[in-house]
Structure 1
Amino acid sequence: MFNSVYNKKNKPIDMNFVIGILFSYFLYSSIVFKRYRSKTIMILESKPVEYLGRISYSLYLVHGPFLALANIYMLKNYTFSDDVRQLLLFAFVLFFIIPFSALFYHLIEKRFLNK
Structure 2
Amino acid sequence: MVVVALAVGPVVSYAFPNAGSGNYWMIGLFALGMAAALVTVRGTRIPAPWFGWGALGVGILAAAWMIFVTPHTRNEQIISDTLAGTAIALALVSMGRAAVDGRVNPGRRVLEWRPLVWIGLWSYSIYLIHSPVLALANILLLPLELPTFVNWLLLVLVVLPVALSLAYGFFWLVERHFITSHQKRVINERVDPDASGKVA
Same fold, judged at TM 0.5 (above): yes
Q: Is the 8 A contact 1:58 1:105 kept in 2?
A: yes
**Alpha-carbon distance between aligned partners in 2 of 1:55 and 1:111, rounded to the nearest angstrom:** 12
Equivalent residue letter for 1:24: I
Q: What's the offset of the Cα at 1:57?
A: 2.1
1:44-98, Cα deviation, whole Å (9 max, x unpaired): 01222112222122212211221111111222213322x65445434432x2222
**Alpha-carbon distance between aligned partners in 2 of 1:90 and 1:101, rounded to the nearest angstrom:** 15
Aligned to 1:31: 95
User: With structure 1 as the length reference, what TM-score do the two structures score?
Assistant: 0.62
Taking only the aligned residue pairs, the percentage that are identical comes to 25
Aligned to 2:124: 57
Q: Secondary structure at the match of 1:21?
A: helix
Select which of 169, 174, 177 maps to 1:103.
169
**Alpha-carbon distance between aligned partners in 2 of 1:84 and 1:23, rounded to the nearest angstrom:** 34
CA RMSD, Structure 1 to Structure 2 (Å): 3.8
Q: Which blocks of at least 5 consecutive residues in structure 1 are unaligned? A: none
Q: Which blocks of at least 5 consecutive residues in structure 2 are unaligned? A: 1-65, 181-200
Q: How many residues align?
A: 109
- Of structures 1 and 2, the one with the larger relative CO (CA 8 A, separation 6+) is 1
Give the stretch that moved more between structures: 64-73 or 30-39.
30-39
Equivalent residue letter for 1:54: L
Bigger CA radius of gyration? 2
Q: Is the 8 A contact 1:5 1:12 kept in 2?
A: no
